[in-house]
Structure 1
Amino acid sequence: MQFLAYILIYPILWLVSILPFRLLYSVSDGLYVILYHVIGYRKNVVKENLKLAFPNKSNEELNSIRKKFYHHLCDMVLESIKSMTITEAQMRKRFTFSNVELIQQLEKENRSVALMCAHYGSWEWIFILQTYMSVKGYAIYKRLANKYFDRLVKRIRAKYNSHLITTKESISVLKRAKNNGEIAMCGFVSDQSPKAEKAFHWNEFMGITVPVHTGAEMLAKKLDMSVVFFGVKKLKRGFYETTFKTIAYHPQDYKDYEITDIFLKLVEDQINEAPEFYLWTHKRWKHRDKVPTDYNSKQ
């Protein structure tokens, strides 16, 4: 069944991917009508998340953010499909870096990098960063249920010398790279909601206390990787600009969870500046009622 689904769906995805951008975004506009007005994909989740994050905004303001978000979400879906056939020149034009020299300098200093980001703006096209670097790139991801589509995604990323690894593989793969003297860059999308019972750290995110993923920080400390945040701005439809900010050059110099808390604050700043570009469909605050009883005593 997996292979049947693949051979039926893949040609459609490929045909969509070769569309000129003008037509691609026309398809995105149509998808918006279906997702938002017809299906109502996760509208209640988005509505609740926005109310939680912005309790002082009016219903009119929240409705405006919600509609803009769904337009952006549909663009992201089509842009991820476009990744199948987009050329390097096109991607370099559409996904730019304001200060890529910061990452290049870390490479010159033989520093491996833990690159932290959130589900904000566009994280699909960040892999073009590899064309500016000579180090090997890794990205933590969740393996797809369909092994054929999983291979497809890995093949797309490998075009730019980026390699997808699962959370379980990350320690062994990156430790082996370090032992071999390899300078590596690993990307972490670190704003997801971990399981409450397995969380090591809780903190406020958009004013709400939630469990926080600390894997990127812990791995960076274990392997002595400089920690860098990348923030993304959507300049206009189909065009993004990334800016890097060093969080910790030597992560061992920071107290436990301090790096993670700095990261969360940077994500909040992005969201407050342009909230429509955050991924409001995921249930980031679902564990807000499970705060440990000793949380306040640790502050």
Structure 2
Amino acid sequence: MQFLIYILVYPFLWIISILPFRLLYLVSDGLYILIFRIVGYRKKVVYDNLRLVFPNKSNDEIKRITKVFYHHLCDMIMESIKSMTISEAEMKKRFTFTNVELIKEIENQNKSIILMCAHYGSWEWIFILQTYIKSRGNAVYKRLANKYFDKLVKRIRAKYNSYLITTKETIPTLVELKKQGVLSINGFASDQSPRLDKAYYWNKFMGINVPVHTGAEMLAKRLDMAVVFFGVKKIKRGYYETTFKTITLNPLKYKDYEITDIFLKLVEEQIYEAPEYYLWTHKRWKHRDKKPIN
């Protein structure tokens, strides 16, 4: 059944991927009408999240942010499909880096990198970074249920020496790369909510007390990796600009969870500046007020 679904859906994805961007965004506009105005995909979740973290914003402002967010979400979906056939030159034109030399400087110190980011702006095209640097790229992800689509996504990423690894594969993969002396840059989207039974640390995010992922910090300390944050700014439709910020080159000098706290503050700065580009459909604050009493 998985293969049947794949062979039925794949041709449509491929056709969408070869559309010129002008037509691609027309499809995105149609998708916006479908998922926002007709289906109402997770609309309540989005409204509830925005009202929770922005209690002082008016209803009109919340509605404005919501509409812009759904337009952006649809663009992101189309852009991820476009990744199937987009050329390297086109992607470099549309996803640029203001200070890629920061990554190169860390590489020159023979250090691997934990690259922390949020589900903000665009993270679909970050793998083009591999064409500028020498480190092997790894991104931690959740395996897709359909194994054929899972292989497709991995194949797209591998075009530029970038690989997807599951949470279970992360530690053994990074340990082995370190043993082999292979420099790696490892992407972690650490802003979403961990499972409650895996919640070891709680802190405020956007003013709300929630459990926080700490795996990136733990690995940085265990393997002595530099920790770098990348923030994304949407310049205009289909164009993004990424800026790197070093959190630390020496993670062992930081107290437990201090690196994680710095990361969260950087994410908050992005959201406060332009909240419409955060992934509001996720139930990021679902575990608030559930912290166990010790």
Q: Spell out the pairing of 1:124-135 with structure 2 (5 A cutoff).
A: 124-135=124-135
1:96 paired residue number = 96
2:215 paired residue number = 215
Displacement, 1:192? Answer: 1.1
Deviates more, 1:284-293 or 1:49-58: 284-293
1:117 aligns with 2:117: yes
| CA distances 1:181-215 after superposition (whole Å, capped 9, x unpaired) | 11111000101100122211000000000000000
SS at match of 1:234: strand
Query: Structure 1: 5+ residue runs without aligned partners?
Result: 295-299
* Count of aligned residue pairs for this structure pair: 294
1:34 paired residue number = 34
What's the Cα RMSD here?
0.6
| CA distances 1:35-60 after superposition (whole Å, capped 9, x unpaired) | 11000000000000000110000000
1:194 paired residue number = 194
1:283 aligns with 2:246: no
2:273 paired residue number = 273
Alpha-carbon distance between aligned partners in 1 of 2:58 and 2:161, rounded to the nearest angstrom: 46
SS at match of 1:68: helix
1:70 aligns with 2:70: yes
- TM-score norm. by structure 2 comes to 0.99
1:138 paired residue number = 138
1:297 paired residue number = none
Alpha-carbon distance between aligned partners in 2 of 1:50 and 1:264, rounded to the nearest angstrom: 17
Alpha-carbon distance between aligned partners in 1 of 2:166 and 2:198, rounded to the nearest angstrom: 18
Alpha-carbon distance between aligned partners in 1 of 2:198 and 2:92, rounded to the nearest angstrom: 40
Displacement, 1:292? Answer: 2.7
Displacement, 1:92? Answer: 0.2
- TM-score norm. by structure 1 comes to 0.98
Displacement, 1:109? Answer: 1.0
Query: Structure 2: 5+ residue runs without aligned partners?
Result: none
SS at match of 1:64: helix
Alpha-carbon distance between aligned partners in 2 of 1:197 and 1:135, rounded to the nearest angstrom: 34
Alpha-carbon distance between aligned partners in 2 of 1:159 and 1:47, rounded to the nearest angstrom: 38
1:54 aligns with 2:54: yes
1:184 paired residue number = 184
Aligned partner letter, 1:273: E
Aligned partner letter, 2:9: I
SS at match of 1:134: coil
Aligned partner letter, 1:193: S
Matched-pair identity in %:
72
Aligned partner letter, 1:168: K
Alpha-carbon distance between aligned partners in 2 of 1:243 and 1:167, rounded to the nearest angstrom: 26
Aligned partner letter, 1:33: I
1:173 paired residue number = 173
1:84 aligns with 2:95: no
Aligned partner letter, 2:231: G
2:12 paired residue number = 12
2:21 paired residue number = 21
Displacement, 1:135? Answer: 1.2
1:151 paired residue number = 151
Alpha-carbon distance between aligned partners in 2 of 1:261 and 1:69, rounded to the nearest angstrom: 26
Aligned partner letter, 2:214: T
Alpha-carbon distance between aligned partners in 1 of 2:64 and 2:200, rounded to the nearest angstrom: 36
Aligned partner letter, 1:185: I
Alpha-carbon distance between aligned partners in 1 of 2:207 and 2:292, rounded to the nearest angstrom: 17
Alpha-carbon distance between aligned partners in 1 of 2:58 and 2:216, rounded to the nearest angstrom: 36
